[in-house]
């Protein structure tokens, strides 16, 4: 690793926008900001800290700009003078040789690796200085490395206290991850840095489900027409508005009869959807269809199989006492609760509601989900060299749709932070799904965008392959954000695991009980130290079969699969595992 030879750390600035606090003493991730800077330059031959006296290792030089607080350029000059004085006192023959890092002690995620990247870039370009750039192209003048002779010349010609005036015109910028170069100027910056520094714990799938169940809040209750409620969750019990049946109806094709037999068949047949035009008198019978309303005066219905009819006399007899009438209210009466609250509205619930005369229901949902593909490497037709087509978002959207959500496909998001921020603020979405950008690389802007919208990360990675590189976050007053791995199989596996618990929790419905099954060759599929999400197909003899090769860059392993098996670590033999079908 190429380390700068010397380092100057500016640690005297007071946080004017933070109430005048001594910023270098603030702690992020258990470390003072000054300690972060010192660790980043730990490979330097000599380090000088410019600021008030502090309790530091005696090998670290300390000095103070005069007057105190007179600006960064003056502080850098004081630091360089302290280095020169030290080298003079030790008889160093190369007073202006080497490279010097110039840093502010308010960059909580700065690393030695980042400075080494700047050093390599500067030397490779034979540039006088190299500075960090964030994703917006903003140059960080106090995260840089200089040729020492150039720094001396720039300070000699300085016309003010600002660092900008010192920068050589032929300096270079090097893009580093935003979280690595972000400084702390405000309380919000500090809070953001502390959230980033909290080491993400990769939860097990059951732990992740428990966190989401506990932390996500149910959607607001709304009243919907029953036809529009499919996929929602009942907020209150479904109460019958009318009895069922709502009238006495024939349960079979046969005859409606009045009084005891025999009966004389007379009058028109009674069809379903109509009613008899006259009452049925005692001793008479009328032909009746299944579902037809009993005529006034009829006592019961006798099915065709249980009657004897004389074709000449039209006299009807029967030796059976059975009544094939569905009596009004025999299934339920008005005011009966038919379906409990916290039940998912499916086709059966819609049917029962209509049978009970219920036109509107109080529900949560159905979920509105927007799915975005992300990344500059994704193109519509991959005609551009180095690009690929989107092969994940349709599969992800369809899987979410099968869970009862209303799914829309949002615009593709390029690798720009502002595009992510705009997507996360979708006003008409309960859940925003983004495929890709869940890593921590230069082009992965999801976490920065989550910070920008004030999101709270609930799950940051799951101990599962494929699909474990995912993020779930909640925005106060906004949608739930789900970031999935960029590889197609990882994305589908991740959403297959998450969408049931997210849906059940947001709709405030009873959690669906797990479906268990046996998987062939389980010992070979199970990981020794983590969970696996494996596509499965039925074997035809009561078990499920998973492929042993599961490339994540395409969905070939999902062809003909009915779902996934969630295989715990060290599962073996006849163990039953949870199925996501």
| Tokens standing for residue 118 | 């700047």
**Eight-state DSSP code of residue 422:** H
- Residues paired with 464 in a beta bridge: 531
Residue 93 has pLDDT above 90, yes or no: no
* Inter-residue long-range contacts of 76-79, CB under 8 Å, 24+ positions, other chains counted: 76/8, 76/10, 76/50, 76/102, 76/151, 76/155, 76/163, 76/166, 77/155, 77/158, 78/50, 79/8, 79/9, 79/10, 79/48, 79/49, 79/50
d(CA 199, CA 556): 35
Least confident of 25-29, 85-89, 344-348: 25-29
Token pair for residue 308? 């004897």
CA 519, CA 539: separation in Å to the nearest integer?
9
pLDDT digits (tens, 9 = 90+) for 6-64: 999 999 866 666 767 888 888 876 678 999 999 999 888 899 999 999 988 889 999 99
Beta bridge partner(s), residue 567: 532
The whole-number pLDDT of residue 208 equals 93
HEC string of 9-27 equals EECCCEEHHHCCEEHHHCE
Query: CA-to-CA distance for 343 and 355, rounded, in angstroms?
Result: 17
Environment class of 425 (CB within 10 Å of its CB; exposed 0-12, middle 13-18, buried 19+): middle
- Nearest-angstrom CA–CA distance, 118 and 514: 52
Q: What is the mean pLDDT of residues 238-242?
A: 97
How far apart CA 437 and CA 396 sit, in angstroms, is: 16
Residue 329, pLDDT score: 95
Averaged pLDDT for residues 236-260: 95
Instruction: Kindly calculate the radius of gyration of the chain based on its CA atoms and give it in whole angstroms.
Output: 37
Q: How many whole angstroms separate alpha carbon 50 and alpha carbon 10?
A: 5
Q: Which of 354-363, 383-392, 452-461 has the highest mean pLDDT?
A: 354-363
Q: How far apart are CA 492 and CA 558, in angstroms?
A: 9
Residue 24 CB coordination number (10 Å) = 27
Average pLDDT on 141-153 reads: 92
Model confidence at 161, pLDDT cuts 50, 70, 90, reads confident
Distance of CA 450 to the CA centre of its chain: 11
Domains in the chain: ranges and CATH: 6-197 (3.90.550.10), 205-216+367-507 (3.40.980.10), 222-243+331-364 (3.90.105.10), 249-326 (2.170.190.11), 515-580 (2.40.340)
The mean predicted confidence, pLDDT, of the chain is 89
H-helix segments, 42-168: 72-89, 112-125, 148-156
| Predicted pLDDT at 451 | 81
**Neighbour tally for 485: CB within 10 Å:** 26
End-to-end CA distance of the chain: 49
What's the rounded mean pLDDT across residues 62-89?
Answer: 89
What is the DSSP code (8-state) at residue 96? T
Cα gap 4→421, rounded to integer Å: 36
Measured CA to CA, the distance from residue 146 to residue 513 in angstroms comes to: 62
- Among residues 534, 565, 529, the alpha carbon closest in space to that of 549 is found at 534
Max intra-chain CA distance, the chain? 137
**Structure tokens of 35?**
């300690």
- Which residue is associated with the tokens 């509205």? 345
| pLDDT score at 1 | 44
Report CA dihedral (492, 494, 495, 500) to the nearest 10 degrees: 130
When pLDDT is averaged across residues 206-224 and rounded to a whole number, the result is 94
CA distance 188 to 530: 36
Cβ neighbour number for residue 577 with a 10 Å cutoff = 25
Rounded to an integer, the average pLDDT of 188-206 is: 78
Is-contact 390 216, C-beta < 8 A? no
Which DSSP letter does residue 60 get?
S
């Amino acid at each position: 690793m190429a380390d700068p030879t010397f380092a100057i750390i500016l640690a005297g600035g007071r946080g004017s926008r933070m109430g005048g606090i001594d910023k270098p003493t603030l702690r992020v991730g258990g470390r003072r900001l000054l300690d972060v800077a010192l660790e980043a330059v730990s490979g330097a031959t000599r380090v000088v800290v410019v600021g008030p006296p502090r309790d530091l290792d005696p090998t670290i030089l300390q000095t103070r700009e005069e007057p105190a607080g007179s600006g960064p350029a003056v502080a850098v000059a004081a630091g360089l003078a302290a280095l020169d004085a030290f080298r003079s006192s030790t008889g160093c023959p190369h007073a202006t040789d080497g490279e010097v890092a110039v840093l502010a002690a308010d960059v909580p995620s700065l690393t030695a690796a980042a400075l080494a990247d700047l050093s390599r870039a500067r030397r490779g370009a034979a540039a006088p200085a190299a500075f960090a750039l964030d994703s917006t192209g903003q140059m960080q003048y106090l995260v840089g490395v200089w040729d020492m002779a150039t720094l001396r010349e720039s300070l000699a010609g300085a016309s003010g206290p600002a660092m900008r005036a010192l920068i050589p015109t032929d300096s270079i910028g090097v893009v580093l991850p935003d979280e690595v170069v972000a400084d702390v100027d405000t309380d919000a910056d500090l809070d953001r840095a502390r959230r980033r520094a909290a080491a993400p714990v990769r939860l097990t799938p059951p732990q992740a489900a428990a966190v989401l169940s506990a932390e996500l809040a149910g959607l607001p209750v709304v009243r919907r027409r029953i036809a529009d409620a499919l996929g929602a969750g009942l907020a209150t019990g479904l109460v019958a508005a009318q009895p069922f049946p709502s009238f006495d109806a024939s349960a079979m094709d046969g005859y409606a009869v009045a009084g005891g037999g025999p009966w004389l068949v007379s009058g028109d047949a009674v069809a379903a959807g109509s009613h008899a035009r006259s009452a049925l008198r005692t001793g008479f019978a009328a032909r009746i269809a299944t579902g037809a309303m009993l005529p006034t005066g009829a006592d019961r219905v006798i099915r065709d199989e249980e009657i004897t009819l004389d074709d000449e006399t039209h006299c009807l007899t029967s030796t059976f006492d059975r009544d094939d009438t569905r009596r009004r209210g025999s299934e339920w009466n008005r005011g009966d609760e038919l379906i409990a609250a916290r039940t998912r509205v499916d086709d059966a619930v819609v049917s029962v509601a209509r049978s009970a005369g219920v036109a509107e229901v109080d529900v949560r949902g159905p979920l509105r989900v927007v799915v975005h593909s992300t990344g500059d490497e994704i193109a519509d037709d991959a005609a551009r060299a180095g690009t690929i087509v989107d092969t994940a978002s349709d599969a992800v959207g369809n899987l979410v749709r099968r869970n009862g959500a209303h799914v829309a496909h949002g615009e593709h998001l390029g690798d720009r932070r502002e595009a992510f921020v705009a997507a996360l603020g979708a006003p008409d979405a309960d859940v925003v799904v983004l495929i890709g950008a869940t890593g921590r690389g230069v082009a992965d802007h999801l976490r920065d965008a989550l910070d920008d919208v004030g999101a709270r990360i609930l799950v940051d990675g799951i101990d599962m392959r494929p699909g474990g590189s995912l993020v779930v976050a909640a925005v106060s007053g906004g949608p739930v954000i789900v970031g999935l791995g960029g590889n197609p199989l990882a994305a589908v596996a991740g959403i297959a695991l998450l969408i049931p618990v997210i849906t059940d929790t947001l709709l405030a419905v009873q959690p669906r009980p797990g479906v268990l099954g046996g998987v062939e060759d389980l010992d070979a599929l199970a990981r020794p130290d983590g969970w696996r999400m494996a596509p499965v197909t039925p074997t035809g003899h009561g078990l499920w079969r998973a492929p042993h090769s599961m490339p994540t860059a395409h969905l070939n392993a999902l062809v003909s699969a009915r779902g996934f098996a969630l295989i715990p670590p060290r599962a073996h033999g006849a163990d039953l595992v949870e199925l996501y079908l």
